[in-house]
Amino acid sequence: MSRKPRARQAVFALAAVLAALAAVAWRQSATRETMEALDRADRELAIALDEREEVARELLRVEGRGWIAGEAGRRLGLRLPTQREVIITSGGSR
């Protein structure tokens, strides 16, 4: 009769070990998935920051006088006035 309790204990111990191993494997796979998601988010953030910097540089470029004058000439046919075309008036009182 002493064999049955030992066999049950052995089966129970084996089941406990297998359950612990399964829990460790599940936890490691969940951690791996979380780390992969975090890596993806880091890559997406880096891409977004690069795009933001590119947009900021482009904005600085198009806000510049040279770009604006060039576009005004190309699109609207405007140009900077020559020295003879500039008339300076006094800012008299109104």
Q: Are 78 and 72 in contact (CB under 8 A)?
A: yes
Does the model's pTM come out above 0.85?
no
32-81 pLDDT, tens digit per residue, is 999 999 999 999 999 999 999 999 999 999 999 999 999 999 999 999 88
Per-domain residue ranges for the chain?
3-77
pLDDT at residue 4 in the model:
79
